[in-house]
Amino acid sequence: MQSKPHIVPSATSPLSRRQFLRRSAAVGAGLSLGSVAGPLCLAGPETAPSRKVLVGVMGVSAKGRGSELAKALASLPGVEVAYVCDVDERNVAKAVDVVGKKQDKPPKGVGDFRRVLDDKDVDALVIATPDHWHAPATILACAAGKHVYVEKPACHNPREGEWMVEAAHKHQRIVQLGTQRRSFPALVEAIEALHSGEIGRVISAKCYYFNARPTIGHGKEAPVPKWLDYSLWQGPAPERPYRDNILPYNWHWFWHWGTGELGNNAVHYVDTARLGLDVDCPSRVTASGGKFRYDDDQETPDTAVVTFEFGDKLLTFEQRSWAARTPLDPEHDIMFTGDKGSLAMSGPGYAIYDVEGMLKTKQAGEGGNNVHLQNFIDAVRDGKKQNAPIEQGVKSTLLCHLGNISWRVGRAIHMDAGRIAGDEAAAALWGREYRKGWEPAV
């Protein structure tokens, strides 16, 4: 295994190099895939169940996931949002105000998440940043003794997912992925029905995602706004000049920072489908499609079909990111088909059909963030079993990465023992280069 230096702060960071080298000490080289076990930070006689869990939220844009998660956490009993953090100072001010109205006192607002890691009283870091920060921030947080709730996708590339699992095990931290469908009661019930043989032997799963996204246009280099710490926003990604069509959302469609629609939304459906099929790593992945709708700067496909083969089971994902769902499109998000019937998931509910297509059972359900966040808090406080541990999150995120890699190289990807086999160009996309001095390492 190649040597991996630690993440260290930029030259302008007010924290000392010694502080960060201490908190990001290298973890062991072996990759363990078991569940995280061992003492939790809240365990022990001195920490009663009534003791509040203190969290910091990293990435709180006004309309982004971080703000939603911060508000949801502030509404949970026994939880306090101690910090809100963003490289955009405007977002920080808004988040302090909004979250402060939902709990006894306002959170502290900071621009650098490392301030949160430096506070020994903080129990957990919630990461809702661009994809390229998910793994590096998780690794640093684990090394600092914090538990982690990280938004999907787990990581920017497959190698980072391996490092995240290593870091969680080395530091005995709870790391939960924000694939909240794993906590929706009706969908949990649906998965149990699949595994109990309700539709017989489950053979295939088809997933769909439709959205009417607008063009991102053609951007140009521009001065960095005074309210933005663009250097910290880039963080571990190699430096690129600021452009006027990257923030706040369009970074998703550039390989340098994002993972396209597969990482952005497919991961939810692929994760649920993988769970229902009871499979792990595919033997072959094939992606077809392209960027067909707009003439703009987007690098990732806006129209695609990805096929994942698992021996005698098949999983497919279809996306169309430039036109919303029509009456001619499937109404469901995921359809499982077995030799004795089918099960369709739509939002937080599901329906079961017999082999002739007649409805047998239909169950509505409740969704939202709270139940999944509560599961994370319960795991941190009481050691309750996680619904979306990082080991599982990394497996599902890997499928999305493999779909992207297949599309980028223009051919099917074959897997052997969890690795890309016989394709040097595809295997080269397993990891990425990092900005000097910010290389994540475990």
* The pLDDT of residue 18 is above 50: no
* The pLDDT of residue 395 is above 90: yes
- Mean pLDDT, all residues of the chain: 90
What class has domain 17-179+371-387+424-430? alpha beta
* The pLDDT of residue 358 is above 80: yes
Q: Determine the length of the chain.
A: 442
pLDDT digits (tens, 9 = 90+) for 120-173: 999 999 999 999 999 999 999 999 999 999 999 999 999 999 999 999 999 999
* The pLDDT of residue 12 is above 90: no
* The pLDDT of residue 27 is above 90: no
Tell me the CATH number of domain 182-367, given options 3.30.360.10, 1.10.3720.10, 3.30.450.20, 3.40.190.10. 3.30.360.10
Q: Which residues, at least 6 apart from 214, have a Cβ–Cβ distance to it below 8 Å?
A: none
Question: Of the ranges 24-28, 231-235, 260-264, 270-274, which one carries the lowest mean pLDDT score?
Answer: 24-28
pLDDT score for 42? 54
For residues 352-364, average pLDDT: 96
Check if the beta carbon of residue 167 is closer than 8 Å to that of residue 138: yes
For residues 331-357, average pLDDT: 97
Q: Which of 263, 307, 309 is nearest to 289 (CA)?
A: 307
CA distances from 169 to 6, 136, 138, 163 (A): 17, 16, 12, 10
Beta bridge partners of 150: 127, 177
Question: Of the ranges 16-20, 316-320, 327-331, 390-394, which one carries the lowest mean pLDDT score?
Answer: 16-20
pLDDT score for 21? 33
**Domain extents in the chain:** 17-179+371-387+424-430, 182-367
**Do 17-179+371-387+424-430 and 182-367 have matching folds?**
no
pLDDT score for 401? 98
Beta bridge partners of 192: none
pLDDT digits (tens, 9 = 90+) for 73-128: 999 999 999 999 999 999 999 999 999 999 999 999 999 999 999 999 999 999 99
pLDDT score for 102? 95
- 156: how many CB neighbours lie within 10 A of its CB? 28
Beta bridge partners of 80: 54
How large a percentage of the chain has pLDDT more than 90?
87
> What is the spatial distance between Cα 304 and Cα 317, in angstroms, rounded to a whole number?
8
For residues 54-72, average pLDDT: 93
Q: Which two tokens stand for residue 217?
A: 């246009």
pLDDT score for 5? 30
Q: Which residues, at least 6 apart from 380, have a Cβ–Cβ distance to it below 8 Å?
A: 40, 41, 42, 53, 123, 124, 147, 174
CA distances from 126 to 69, 196, 436 (A): 8, 35, 25
pLDDT score for 24? 35
pLDDT digits (tens, 9 = 90+) for 204-255: 999 999 999 999 999 999 999 999 999 999 999 999 999 999 999 999 999 9
The phi-psi region of residue 255 (left if phi > 0; otherwise alpha if psi is between -120 and 50; otherwise beta) is alpha
pLDDT score for 306? 98
Work out the pLDDT band at 45, boundaries 50, 70, 90: very low
Work out the pLDDT band at 441, boundaries 50, 70, 90: confident
